[in-house]
Amino acid sequence: MRRSTAFIVAVLFHVGVVAQSKEMSTPAREYLTKALDLIQQNGLYRGRVEWEDVRARAFAEAIRAQTPADTYVGIRLALAALGDRHSTFQTPDSVATMNQRAAASPPSGSMVDGRLAHVVVPHFLNTERSVIAGYATTLQNVVRSLDSSTTCGWIIDLRQNDGGNMWPMLAGLGPLLSEGAIGSFTDGNGNSATWFSENGAARLGRNELVRVAGTPYRLRNPNPPIAVLTSARTISSGEAVAIAFRGNPNTRSFGQRTQGLSTANGTFKLSDGAAIVLTQAIDADRSGKVYEDGVSPDVVTEASEAGLPAAARQWLLGQPACRP
């Protein structure tokens, strides 16, 4: 029997109304509630947020959610409300591929003018203990290979370091950092946790996070002049490394102001394999000065200046260790 057009339209309209009236499932509601609780309880700037309003908007965005994935839009809304620019949400797929990205390229080095050792420190995203030890050891071996009887100064190039895991970077650069406290994290309650560089290892408080393989390298000539290079592409852990060199003996920085994500993130895994990467603290140097929105170099140079900035080269070659 043929149905009239009006009848078919009425049926389709009814089905649409039923579909749109579907309520959020219990698993989706529990998932979103837990995620919002994590953000509200642990975010660095949680005290600046009107949580009743944000939670209401997050649930409104996910009002018909049936699965955890349907609630992601609400979680991202809550993270944006923190305003720290550094907190992110990672889907299960992005979490699975993160460690595979590791470093865009391994640490590398070369000599400039036959006397200046140029060390390039790339980003590093992996968190597996054996892999981060490998990065730290490779970086320290670069330092070892450049340290000769004619090496008089060092260049730490962070201009393309857009973040990741800071600890293997600090451990690998240990020969160029003074031993002991080199910086800290400060949270919203004024609590701090100190970074240490000691005997081939990088520590946070009492916790050793990475150590280079074998005997830690010692420079032929301790406390050489060091130029640290930064740019607007120096981000997150790259900024933390720049901060670790603040107050280091015979060290000066050159380039442009960093990106402004000089804050520390913690990762919270969710039940479906997704993760909330949440800003929880601000980076501070060894004197206690905090860097909430980036690091300005001691000497500003042109962003377009290729190779070693002339000002950095001039300063290094003018230091006593590099004078004829």
243 within 8 A of 258, measured Cβ to Cβ:
no
In the predicted structure, residue 315 carries a pLDDT above the cut 50: yes
Residue 13's pLDDT band, with cuts at 50, 70 and 90, is very low
Asked, for residue 53, whether it belongs to a domain, the answer is no
pLDDT of residue 12: 35
In the predicted structure, residue 193 carries a pLDDT above the cut 70: yes
Range of the domain at 126: 101-262+281-322
What is the Cα 192 distance to its own chain's centre? 18
155 within 8 A of 312, measured Cβ to Cβ:
yes
Q: What is the average pLDDT value for the chain, to the nearest integer? A: 91
Asked, for residue 15, whether it belongs to a domain, the answer is no
DSSP label at residue 253:
E
Asked, for residue 240, whether it belongs to a domain, the answer is yes
Q: Give the total number of structural domains in the chain.
A: 1
User: Cα–Cα distance between 256 and 281 in angstroms, integer?
Assistant: 24
Residue of higher predicted confidence among 98 and 2: 98
Write out pLDDT tens, residues 66-106: 999 999 999 999 999 999 999 999 999 988 777 565 556 89
Asked, for residue 66, whether it belongs to a domain, the answer is no
- Token reading at 38: 């994590």
Q: Among the listed ranges 20-29, 85-94, 162-171, which one has the minimum average pLDDT value?
A: 20-29
Mean pLDDT, residues 237-253:
98
- φ and ψ of 31, to 5 deg: -65, -50
Asked, for residue 1, whether it belongs to a domain, the answer is no
Mean pLDDT, residues 207-213:
97
What is the CB neighbour count within 10 angstroms for residue 47?
9
Q: Among the listed ranges 3-7, 169-173, 189-193, 312-316, which one has the minimum average pLDDT value?
A: 3-7
DSSP tally for the chain: helices H, then strands E = 9, 13
The residues facing 252 across adjacent strands are 227
User: Cα–Cα distance between 144 and 57 in angstroms, integer?
Assistant: 55
Asked, for residue 198, whether it belongs to a domain, the answer is yes
Q: Amino acid letter at 60?
A: A
pLDDT of residue 18: 36
pLDDT of residue 129: 85
Residue 128's pLDDT band, with cuts at 50, 70 and 90, is confident
- Token reading at 80: 């944006």
pLDDT of residue 100: 61
Write out pLDDT tens, residues 226-239: 999 999 999 999 99
What SS3 state is found at 264? strand
| Proportion of the chain in helix, strand, coil states, percent, rounded to 5 | 35, 25, 40
In the predicted structure, residue 248 carries a pLDDT above the cut 80: yes
pLDDT of residue 130: 85
Asked, for residue 195, whether it belongs to a domain, the answer is yes
pLDDT of residue 51: 97
CATH number where 308 lies? 3.90.226.10
Residue of higher predicted confidence among 108 and 19: 108
Q: Among the listed ranges 52-61, 99-108, 157-166, which one has the minimum average pLDDT value?
A: 99-108
Asked, for residue 9, whether it belongs to a domain, the answer is no
